[in-house]
């Protein structure tokens, strides 16, 4: 049995999905597009039900990828039941999607969510009345508290067991104005006469053709004569209204019908447009004068928490456990077993040093992700986009780009995926291309290491300057790209500002755990194998013999080949060149490979080795290069997936690396002139 979940963004769809499926989830992509596909399974009375979480959408227009995917899935895959989740606190806009979904002829249940908030406002919703008017079951729930959710699943399962209805009869359930009803019926009858279309949801196609939906027209592949007959219906329909535009007319008809329905089914307590608690909070948070200071304060707080005393303390704890206790224990074990010297090198230097060095940053990455999740779940992210739109508009983007860019401070991979929420393709591409400049969490070890050695007096400032340089580079590149690759009109910005909600600890934990898991898997697989590989490459020569001096190793010779390229940037030594290469696997490995390459078992040994190889100017130049050069493989792959093209992904990699080279060159050469 297959049940699909759909609904507006912020309707609590994900909460319900998580509630039902727990950890039995599978996340992937819908075939051929970059829209997330989430599936999970739930056991109900011994039966296994597959739950499909469809993307959050507002309408079934042909303009956004999410909406097209939803149409396709519902028409082609035909789940047994569709549960449409509505936010009871703004039921009109949520019903607008419901009316369109009903036309698809999939057996459907409406779940009106957030009933606790509806009651709290003093509003009363008569679900039985709504159900009577729509001809579909309407079940009130509060997903967050698990209220009535069992009943919802029960009703869905019961509906699925009923024999399937004929989707082609999916017309005339909702009462519109006379002209609209007549026009839909006229188109429906024209389609009904075509034998090849039997079995398709003709009510849906009739409405879409009336709207002038090109995708629907292409899907049906109508002949010229039929198309002409439909156009005549449309012309008569358009002539019947002063608006004279089919798309607006149909949307208007739907909303009018909804308003009439809601008037009968809902009793509202407060005056229209009255201020809720959320509105009052918003008056302060997006206040004309206070908004920017609050925004900066939140950003500052987030970074202070992550990189300040709390984060450093936790990192220090992990470093102590792994770097001191574990190392000592393993060393003791190896020497008492009289193990050969290379085992110490492999286990302690490569594995504990490499993997451990990266695990040290786990607490900070988790804190950062917790902060970002709180901002997202509380509704502040949308406000941040609202506040920043004006600035981003100047570089040809919208406030929506702000969300992926902010997430870029955590990790480029999910940040690039967050760009999906942007409908405009050009905006999405441009955002993806500049997001890697936002310094990701994995680059922090590099800054922390170098700053602690070369900028002891101004460690914080040196690290912070990386974030600033990253942001400035993103803005300048944005302007550059807008003038070259992405000329043309600026995308509109129409975005819902969801009410402020207290993030649920459960959802937060799940979110952060997902990230932690991802990071640990990365540490256990990619970083583990890269650490071992790095160690092998720098301890073996081309004939695969162990070398005594790692200047004879494979890595050294590759590094020496590459080093001249980096000489103008101030770090023409082979160890630096090799670490940069290793950083392509994951940015954390820049540090772990340096630990291995300089043969340093501890932080102090590495510090003295680096102090000999770099000076402050070249160290800063190296930090800048690490900040800006092409993102790691995992991010690169997700860029390819999101852009749906190798060419764009390679272009992004080449662009970022070129920018990194140029800026590091300027930093080093300029720095040498100034500081001699």
Which parts of this chain interact with other proteins (CB under 8 A)?
58-59, 61, 63, 89-93, 96, 243, 247-248, 251-252, 255-256, 272-273, 279, 282-283, 286-289, 291-292, 382, 386-387, 389-391, 393, 399, 423, 492-499
- 112 or 591: CB nearest other proteins: 112
Alpha-carbon gap, residue 579 to 559, rounded angstroms: 9
Cα separation values, 399 from 383, 385, 409, 473, 504, Å: 9, 4, 17, 18, 26
Cα separation values, 645 from 32, 33, 481, 638, Å: 11, 11, 18, 11
Alpha-carbon gap, residue 156 to 138, rounded angstroms: 11
State the minimum distance, in angstroms, from the CB of residue 456 to other proteins: 39
State the minimum distance, in angstroms, from the CB of residue 63 to other proteins: 4
State the minimum distance, in angstroms, from the CB of residue 427 to other proteins: 12
- Report the half-sphere exposure of 2 (CA within 13 A, side-chain side): 14
51 Ramachandran zone, left/alpha/beta (phi>0; psi -120 to 50) = beta
- 253 or 617: CB nearest other proteins: 253
- 260 or 479: CB nearest other proteins: 260
- Could you tell me the two tokens for 135? 């001809």
State the minimum distance, in angstroms, from the CB of residue 139 to other proteins: 21
State the minimum distance, in angstroms, from the CB of residue 377 to other proteins: 17
- 140 or 498: CB nearest other proteins: 498
Alpha-carbon gap, residue 524 to 538, rounded angstroms: 21
State the minimum distance, in angstroms, from the CB of residue 100 to other proteins: 10
Alpha-carbon gap, residue 390 to 578, rounded angstroms: 42
State the minimum distance, in angstroms, from the CB of residue 388 to other proteins: 8
- Could you tell me the two tokens for 431? 């955002």
Pairing of strands 81-87, 47-53: unpaired
State the minimum distance, in angstroms, from the CB of residue 602 to other proteins: 49
- 36 or 252: CB nearest other proteins: 252
State the minimum distance, in angstroms, from the CB of residue 44 to other proteins: 33
Alpha-carbon gap, residue 593 to 449, rounded angstroms: 13
- 96 or 447: CB nearest other proteins: 96
- Could you tell me the two tokens for 652? 């992004």
- 11 or 534: CB nearest other proteins: 11
Q: Residue 81, SS3? A: strand
User: Which residue in the block uniquely carries the two structure tokens 């996340």?
Assistant: 27
- 258 or 582: CB nearest other proteins: 258
- 124 or 517: CB nearest other proteins: 124
Alpha-carbon gap, residue 259 to 175, rounded angstroms: 12
Burial of 483 (0-12, 13-18, 19+ CB in 10 A): exposed
State the minimum distance, in angstroms, from the CB of residue 132 to other proteins: 22
- Measure the CA angle with vertex 12, ends 213 and 85; round to 5°: 50
State the minimum distance, in angstroms, from the CB of residue 490 to other proteins: 9
- Maximum Cα–Cα distance across the chain: 94
State the minimum distance, in angstroms, from the CB of residue 238 to other proteins: 14
User: Which residue in the block uniquely carries the two structure tokens 């602690």?
Assistant: 452
- 192 or 255: CB nearest other proteins: 255
State the minimum distance, in angstroms, from the CB of residue 286 to other proteins: 7
| Dihedral (CA of 304, 299, 662, 594) sign | positive
Q: Residue 165, SS3? A: coil
- 460 or 492: CB nearest other proteins: 492
- Could you tell me the two tokens for 125? 């919703």
Alpha-carbon gap, residue 326 to 342, rounded angstroms: 18
- Measure the CA angle with vertex 620, ends 616 and 622; round to 5°: 115
Alpha-carbon gap, residue 73 to 52, rounded angstroms: 10
Residues, the chain, total?
A: 676
- 287 or 335: CB nearest other proteins: 287
| DSSP β-bridge partners for residue 124 | 267
Alpha-carbon gap, residue 116 to 469, rounded angstroms: 46
Alpha-carbon gap, residue 452 to 462, rounded angstroms: 9
Closest CA to 55 of 44, 42, 77, 70: 70
State the minimum distance, in angstroms, from the CB of residue 331 to other proteins: 58
- 251 or 650: CB nearest other proteins: 251
Q: Residue 142, SS3? A: strand
- 296 or 304: CB nearest other proteins: 296
- 400 or 522: CB nearest other proteins: 400
64 touches 23 (CB < 8 A): no
State the minimum distance, in angstroms, from the CB of residue 248 to other proteins: 5
Cα separation values, 413 from 188, 432, 635, 669, Å: 46, 10, 4, 33
């Amino acid at each position: 049995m297959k049940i699909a979940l759909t609904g507006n963004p912020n309707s609590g769809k994900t909460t319900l999905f998580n509630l039902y499926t727990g950890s039995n989830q599978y996340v992937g992509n819908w075939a051929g597009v970059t829209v997330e596909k989430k599936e999970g399974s739930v056991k109900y009375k011994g039966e296994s039900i597959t739950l499909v979480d469809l993307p959050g959408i507002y309408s079934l227009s042909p303009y956004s990828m999410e909406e097209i995917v939803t149409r396709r899935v519902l028409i082609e895959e035909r789940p047994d039941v569709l549960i449409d989740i509505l936010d009871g606190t703004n039921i009109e806009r949520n019903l607008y999607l419901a009316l369109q979904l009903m036309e698809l002829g999939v057996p459907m249940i409406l779940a009106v969510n957030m009933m606790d908030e509806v009651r709290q406002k003093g509003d009363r919703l008569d679900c039985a009345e709504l159900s009577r008017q729509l001809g579909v079951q309407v079940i009130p729930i509060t997903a967050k508290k698990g209220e009535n959710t069992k009943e919802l699943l029960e009703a869905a399962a019961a509906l699925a067991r009923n024999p399937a209805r004929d989707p082609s009869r999916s017309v005339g359930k909702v009462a519109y104005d006379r002209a609209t009803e007549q026009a839909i019926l006229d188109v429906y009858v024209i389609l009904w006469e075509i034998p090849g279309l039997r079995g398709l949801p003709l009510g849906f196609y009739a409405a879409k053709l009336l709207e002038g939906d090109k995708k629907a027209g292409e899907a049906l592949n109508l002949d010229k004569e039929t198309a002409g007959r439909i156009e005549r219906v449309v012309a008569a329909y358009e002539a019947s209204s002063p608006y004279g535009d089919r798309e607006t007319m149909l949307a208007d008809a739907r909303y009018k019908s909804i308003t009439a329905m809601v008037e009968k089914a809902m009793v509202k307590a407060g005056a229209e447009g009255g201020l809720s608690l959320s509105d009052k909070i918003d008056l302060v948070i997006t206040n004309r004068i206070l908004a920017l200071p609050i925004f900066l304060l939140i950003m500052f707080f987030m970074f202070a928490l992550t990189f300040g005393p709390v984060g450093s303390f936790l990192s220090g704890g992990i470093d102590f456990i792994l770097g001191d206790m574990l190392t000592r224990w393993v060393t003791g074990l190896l020497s008492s077993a009289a193990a050969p010297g290379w085992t110490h090198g492999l286990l302690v230097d490569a594995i504990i040093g490499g993997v451990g060095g990266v695990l040290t940053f786990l607490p900070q990455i988790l804190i950062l992700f917790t902060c970002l999740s709180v901002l997202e779940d509380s509704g502040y992210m949308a406000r941040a986009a609202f506040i920043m739109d004006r600035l981003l508009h100047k570089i040809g983007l919208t406030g929506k780009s702000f969300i992926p860019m902010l997430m870029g401070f955590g990790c480029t991979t999910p940040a690039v995926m967050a760009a999906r929420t942007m409908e405009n393709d050009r905006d999405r591409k441009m955002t993806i291309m500049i997001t890697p400049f936002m310094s990701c969490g994995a680059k922090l070890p590099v800054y922390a290491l170098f700053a602690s050695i070369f900028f002891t007096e101004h460690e914080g400032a040196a690290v912070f300057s990386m974030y600033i340089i990253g942001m400035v580079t993103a803005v300048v590149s944005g302007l550059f790209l807008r003038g070259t690759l992405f000329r043309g009109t600026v995308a509109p910005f129409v975005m819902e500002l969801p009410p402020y909600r207290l993030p649920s600890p459960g959802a937060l934990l799940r979110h952060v755990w997902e990230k932690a898991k991802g990071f640990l898997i990365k540490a256990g697989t990619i970083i583990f194998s890269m650490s071992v590989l790095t160690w092998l490459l720098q301890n073996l020569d081309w004939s695969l013999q162990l070398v005594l001096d790692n200047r004879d190793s494979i890595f050294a010779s590759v590094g020496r080949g590459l080093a001249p390229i980096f000489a103008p940037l101030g770090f023409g030594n082979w160890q630096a060149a090799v670490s940069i290469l290793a950083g392509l696997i994951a940015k954390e490995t820049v540090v772990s490979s340096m630990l291995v390459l300089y043969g340093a078992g501890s932080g102090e040994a590495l510090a003295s080795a680096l102090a000999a190889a770099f000076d402050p100017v070249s160290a800063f130049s190296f930090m800048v290069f690490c900040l800006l050069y092409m993102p790691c493989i995992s991010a690169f792959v997700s860029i390819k997936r999101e852009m749906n093209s190798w060419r764009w992904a390679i272009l992004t990699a080449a662009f970022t690396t070129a920018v990194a080279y140029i800026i590091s060159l300027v930093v080093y050469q300029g720095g040498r002139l100034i500081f001699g």
